[in-house]
Structure 1
């Protein structure tokens, strides 16, 4: 096992793998990563599934059966993705049991084309929760304005939620409010709050990519590579404020678990930056870091872990955000662009997944 990853886990950071595929499951690779690299959860998204389906023959038998049955492509996608999620959930079930349901989680996203439609998102969340039928599932719901009431409704029904595509501090506070409201509604219904888990996926590297581009245009390269980490650190400060509130303390007394911040988009996009910067500089207890395998391997090999790299740097983070504002960076516009692009990218990946699956169904039928 990796000394670095052991150290990171020992700091209270849950290491999740940002990838899934049928081949990874049938080869035993996921089990190996659990044993050797401290992986205690899995996240997925439409891009990951599109990539998994595009290579190898792991899906051929199931696709043949779906084609013979004449299943339409929309239901075929659900059948294929939920199969992988159930399998991964079963592999991770011992971790789920050992951690009281906190880790050992697997995330499955609602159809991203529904990101602006509340009622359809709720209906899809219910359907996926029922289809997977595993207690260690997270349904991923995007943190759009329309997604916020869907998050509340899903949680109020006992559906565990991974809130995805969070970029702004204001939206993150709205997400935490939606989460608390959902738990309060679940409590009013008499549901077991300890069984309802949630994480809030705060995206990191995409913030740097967008702001770095604007800094180059503004002639301020000395500020590049700082925004994503500063933004995430301030998100954790907002999380700590909620954890200190009476509203949360009442729910905690009833058995609820915190909605942990999850650092997403932790693969470094700029080769000039350290490939472990979003691990090294966001190490703080009570968080999740979901990593692509490349980042996981890099962290195992050469992460530079120096203790808590979030709480002691709140003022530095505020200073960075002030410097960006003085450099002409419009934060509100940045996060709006990132949310719109994030939804669009997942829609494109979903459509690619549908197209790829349609072609494969036609070939094997």
Structure 2
């Protein structure tokens, strides 16, 4: 824990959605009026602890509401499900059931996890209801723009609705699945970890400890392909210590870091870092207006403390050697400088 205390600063506050960010969300259909708010779900009258298959406390509790509240809440949550996954049409609502409403007692966001089941075929999925936080919204949108993955979420006033990201939690994978992987699979996971680490570092997504990302195995015709995805975007561009954005300094990731050093040579690591930066540059070039508009919102916004901004500037000057960071006044300008650096290098290499 001593290492984490040095890396992480005091508890991060929730930053409100600014007028400019709200306008951005409306432009890209992220801001849609929803029938229920986060605070409405806090009216539960009781709860019980949710245990996993090994009878260990999951830090989630299953909530219970009065009969009157439950009818209204269930109908509203079903409506949100249709808005998140479809066009908001009410035709599917009679075939949906809210199986559970769980509340997380751990972490900053204290989300509600909603389990929705189709009663016709028993297929079910989850989504989350959270307090809207500008940091998390920027993180989700940057993930959508710069990563290989689309993010499905909605924001209305002080409430954020997030689609569930399927996968094996990183800590569970490291403990239970990684030891059973073949040597070839470990090399492939090491490659993905390097690329994921580079993506988080470049776009300033912090605190990627193993329980804040998932690993998704996909069966190809002759092998299993592993991908790594972030699932917590609370620490987007907040911390001043550059190490917080570098996965290798999180003690929960040490086994993955050791595997990378065993399985990959330095030339391969550099190659995979370049591949990831090139991919991000291509994404920025493909959607230039969306990227520019989001960064413009960040530059107007306050999503960190002044001392964090100054510390991160000094760390980046040492790490990258680019004095342009000295002129940055906030986290939005810092991120813009990093992304411009990545895009410029890509264009120089490709001669475009």
Greater Rg, structure 1 or structure 2?
Answer: 2
More helix by share: 1
TM-score (norm. length: structure 2): 0.26
The structure, 1 or 2, with the larger RCO (C-alpha pairs under 8 Å, 6+ apart) is 1
TM-score (norm. length: structure 1): 0.25
More strand by share: 2
